A and B are shown apart, each in its own frame.
Chain A
């Protein structure tokens, strides 16, 4: 898989990208290339720097060192707005949706970058591009909930609506920061499968941080393990061994014991 992807154009290029908050090093300088169409799972214990890394790729946090380029365009200096939204979109753990807006309006918000202020205002009363919104909701399987307020949807439904918004936003790169952290296992697998299928069908690049190793193996082409702000391994999904994963998640004390034994 890694050999196949090296022929594809580069989607994400990180050059010695690092991030510190004061004296605390969140991400040690790392260099990484992700090709268009790859599906990369970021694994690692909490606090390993996955969230910070994703935020830097999304352009919401500026790196302290190094440079990021998305599809060849340098990210530095890009303001949030239409151009950035066409490049990269993000799903979070939850709380992406506006609770009092209907699911449909939340999805259509993915088009806001293309709309004028007046069109956006009118769309709150008479939804604009409604067919595309409904189609996106159908694709993620919650079309029957289109007119329900987002705050009244279940956690899984909310994530589906957030993914539907990404479909309308239509970025080249999809980032997902712990998209299943607050879902039960069945729901979690459905959401990950949906994200992976969406990326695969449209040829988009997907980078997701998750905790579920089995899901990472089943739905992603490449797995990167992070610990203490550094990448421990970065391999095609089928080459990731249980030993590597054990070492990634081991508590420091336990690992020392294991090594001495």
Chain B
């Protein structure tokens, strides 16, 4: 019964604080951290929060850009699903199919290790500027993340019904379709909807490499130093994310047991 001062959670806290201190040393703390016009820019950006530009032209552009952003996100998600489902099914670690699960997991890990915008830039540099490149770039890392989560969810279902079926002589394939998948499906759908919300944000920044959408309009507004217009587009982006968030919350609430 000694007080354990160096308990694991305290060690972790100390490690994290040390890491933060180390990261501060990497910043070059000179006088010009904020550049000459910086303070004025802060003021103008904040002042523009309450004065978004709402002219008919801007709004028309915003609606069109919102659709482009949603379209990339939705198409990217379909591709992600097409990748994630088969790979996720293969990647779950049951002793039966180690030969299939290891390569499947390696693919999923590789897909999700690279950020969607890096994929996008590589695709555009390699294959030319096309919206399909953006969809691929979005679908691949999202497929990697979804696949990993699907594999975990399919693995973590209650084991009792599965053992019962197995004792009754059902094949692994039947067990999958009749027990494993139905039990994991609500959680899988919940997570997919949550990811769609993330896909909206990711899709918005695809514009950075020359594709349309809200991100492109935000960038153009910043190039014109038109903070009011920038906030208009930011509000559209926030609204999109909120709508999808509300939708996915509503779906998740109904899927919850």
Contact = CB atoms under 8 A, between A and B. Distances in A.
Q: Do chains A and B touch in the complex (CB under 8 A)?
A: yes
A4 B213 CA distance: 85
* List of 5 A-B pairs having minimum Cβ-Cβ separation, nearest first: A144-B1, A147-B3, A146-B1, A147-B4, A147-B1
B9 to A, nearest CB: 9
A147 B4 CA distance: 7
5 contacts: A143-B1, A145-B1, A147-B1, A147-B2, A147-B4
A209 to B, nearest CB: 32
Contacts of B3: 127, 147
Contacts of A146: 1
Contacts of B1: 143-147
**Chain B CB within 10 Å — which of A127, A143, A146, A147 has the most?**
A147
Contacts of B4: 147
Interface string B203-235: 000000000000000000000000000000000
Interface in B1-52: 1-4
Given A127-B3, A143-B1, A147-B4, 6 more contacts: A144-B1, A145-B1, A146-B1, A147-B1, A147-B2, A147-B3
Nearest to B9: A100
A4 B2 CA distance: 47
A220 to B, nearest CB: 34
Contacts of A144: 1
Interface of A: 127, 143-147
A249 B1 CA distance: 45
A147 B1 CA distance: 7
Nearest to B2: A147
B164 to A, nearest CB: 29
A112 to B, nearest CB: 20
Nearest to A127: B3
A143 B3 CA distance: 12
A143 B2 CA distance: 11
Contacts of B2: 147
A210 B137 CA distance: 64
Contacts of A147: 1-4
A127 B4 CA distance: 12
B3 to A, nearest CB: 5
A127 B2 CA distance: 13
A146 B2 CA distance: 9
A125 to B, nearest CB: 9
Interface string B116-159: 00000000000000000000000000000000000000000000
Contacts of A145: 1
Nearest to A146: B1
A139 B9 CA distance: 30
Nearest to B4: A147
Nearest to A143: B1
A42 to B, nearest CB: 36
Nearest to B3: A147
Contacts of A127: 3
A143 B1 CA distance: 8
Interface in B69-125: none
A146 B1 CA distance: 7
Nearest to B10: A125
A170 to B, nearest CB: 24
Nearest to A148: B1
Contacts of A143: 1
B38 to A, nearest CB: 37
A20 B4 CA distance: 49
A145 B3 CA distance: 10
B241 to A, nearest CB: 33
B116 to A, nearest CB: 37
A4 B218 CA distance: 84
A136 to B, nearest CB: 14
Interface in B174-214: none
A145 B4 CA distance: 12
B99 to A, nearest CB: 40
B222 to A, nearest CB: 44
A144 B3 CA distance: 11
B104 to A, nearest CB: 37
A159 B3 CA distance: 22
